A = this chain, B = another copy of it.
Amino acid sequence: MATQHVQRMSRLMARTLREDPADAETLSHRLLVRAGYVRRSSAGVWTWLPLGKRVLENVSRIVREEMDAIGGQEVLLPALLPREPYETSGRWSEYGDLLFRLKDRKGADYLLGPTHEEIFTLLVKDQCTSYKDLPVILYQIQTKYRDEARPRSGVLRGREFQMKDSYSFDVSDEGLAESYALHRAAYRRIFTRLGLDHRIVSAVSGAMGGSASEEFLAPAAAGEDTFADCPGCGYAANTEAVTFPLAGEGAAAAGEHPPLEEIPTPGTPTIETLAAHLGVPASATLKNLLVKVDGEITAVGVPGDREVDLGKLAEHLAPAEVELVTAEDFADRPDLVRGYVGPQGLGKVRYLADPRVAPGTAWVTGANKPDTHARNVVCGRDFQVDRYLDVAVVEPGDPCPQCGAGLRLDRAIEVGHIFQLGRKYADAFGLDVLGREGKPVRVTMGSYGIGVSRAVAALAEQTADERGLSWPAEVAPADVHVVAAGKAVQLALAEQAAEALAAAGRRVLLDDRAGLSPGVKLTDAELIGVPWILVAGRRAGESVVELQHRASGTREELPLPEALARLTS
């Protein structure tokens, strides 16, 4: 290893803070700011200080090596992109407020790239003409922009962030499956090398379009995603992507149910009041939520003991916009009786339902009259479901869709996402190549992302403890943190240790700051979280140092040569 420069804390742009920043909610946010890795520039926009920049660079290097290993070609596309291709794909408007838009001096419209499917499709259209030119995998590590409504948790969800995005182009579905498998394996290696505990779960494709998609989730309390995990069969999925089978088997035939009967239920506008009034479980009632989908009133039915997951609903119906109905909407539609809606009287209103509302099941639900409900309302007999959608909130203990065992739910951070996009963008831009038989073949595409800056935060979340950060070796900003805990003797020994380590190729942080107590320096060292801490302290006069292992907390006194040998072996 080449000789390294010793980084001296006396000059290092990394002022540590004793207090948590006022707006910090998550562990990684608090610690990355306190340890001097990042500073806030504006809402959701961050400056990476020297320590943070090194970790970011280490993560990027690992990503780059593994992308190169699967034949990925690194490119760099602009962040400033013209409107037209995003108009062609529809995303100029679909992205809504999430897109940063701007005009140049001539008034032409531009955007700051949130992701680059359109531009890569055009690039391949320019570069590739024959099936012989494919498959290709292109990637970049680049600054991305999304004008999040609620940027939060530090660099975990920023408005300007670092992302590795890659794109595969193939002539066949089998080719796409292979490119996808290559990425899946590369991502496993990347997250493993990063030292990041992660799970691969099924995901919904959302606004990206396309078919198969999986997420790489890093379990962490600060995570914004929830995933379901089956202890029985190993099934794992983002709760947004959990799909339950239609409960067709257990349901009775429609004819076996008594006829629909309306019953007066004064003062029962909620499921709780209704279930109590009738003495039935909430799960026997049918809750009907009214929403507007691109402005059109739509009803969503779930069993009364379930909540509708609006995020999930929005994902399923994207790019259509989903809003809750308002009091004004009810005022405009006297046929919709607030608190007493039932699917049997909705006329032309589109009806979406949870799979538990299966054909042949009977329900207690609203009678579309004030203070009145109906019972024995049978799906398929008294009302029809226009589309089944898994939009109910998944609860711990819900049966695994694969084996029926009770699901566990956990919070996690999405650090990677891989998509089989298929031909959506190739269709939009007419991306064909000449096929083996001499005829044009439409190209099929995959899209793959790793949140590089987010991965730094996820790693911090998983590895930190109450004393501070604690980085895995491959991503740490230094290999050894040498602390001069005392005066001249300690400083001399620390300098000697630092130079020897640097000469042996180790990346060294040297706390050579004057006028600080050993206690303050050691607290800072633990906060900064370099894997090894070498302290020149009490016994510096005899050339004995203390070697601390940050993650395990073990510490040991030993002669400097021995410590150096251990750290450079």
Residue A91 at the chain B interface, CB threshold 8 Å? no
> Do most interface residues of chain A lie in helix, strand or loop, or is the interface mixed?
mixed
Give min CB distance, A51 to chain B, whole Å.
10
Residue A133 at the chain B interface, CB threshold 8 Å? yes
Chain B residues, Cβ within 8 Å of A127:
13-15, 36, 49
Residue A12 at the chain B interface, CB threshold 8 Å? yes
Given contact pairs A47-B76, A75-B49, A79-B79, A5 touches B100 in the complex (Cβ within 8 A): no
Residue A10 at the chain B interface, CB threshold 8 Å? yes
Residue pair B100, A47 in contact (C-beta under 8 Å): no
Q: Contact mask A431-458 → B, CB, 8 Å, 1/0?
A: 0000000000000000000000000000
Residue pair A41, B119 in contact (C-beta under 8 Å): yes
Residue pair A102, B104 in contact (C-beta under 8 Å): no
Residue A234 at the chain B interface, CB threshold 8 Å? no
Residue A427 at the chain B interface, CB threshold 8 Å? no
Query: Which of A143-151, A413-421, A488-496 is the contact stretch?
Result: A143-151
Chain B residues, Cβ within 8 Å of A12:
73
Residue pair A75, B160 in contact (C-beta under 8 Å): no
Footprint of B on A, CB under 8 Å? 5, 7, 10-15, 36, 39, 41-42, 45-50, 52-54, 56-57, 68-69, 71, 73-82, 97, 100-102, 104-105, 108, 110, 112, 119, 123-124, 126-128, 132-133, 135-136, 138, 143, 145, 147, 149, 159-160, 514
A-B contact pairs, 23 of them (CB 8 A): A5-B69, A10-B133, A13-B75, A13-B123, A13-B124, A15-B126, A39-B123, A39-B126, A41-B82, A41-B119, A42-B81, A42-B110, A47-B78, A47-B119, A50-B73, A52-B76, A53-B75, A53-B76, A54-B74, A79-B79, A104-B147, A105-B147, A105-B149
* 11 new A-B contacts at CB < 8 Å, known A47-B123, A80-B100, A105-B147: A10-B133, A14-B127, A39-B126, A42-B108, A48-B77, A52-B76, A54-B74, A80-B145, A100-B104, A102-B102, A104-B159
User: Closest 9 interchain pairs by CB?
Assistant: A102-B102, A48-B76, A97-B105, A50-B73, A42-B82, A45-B78, A15-B127, A80-B160, A41-B78
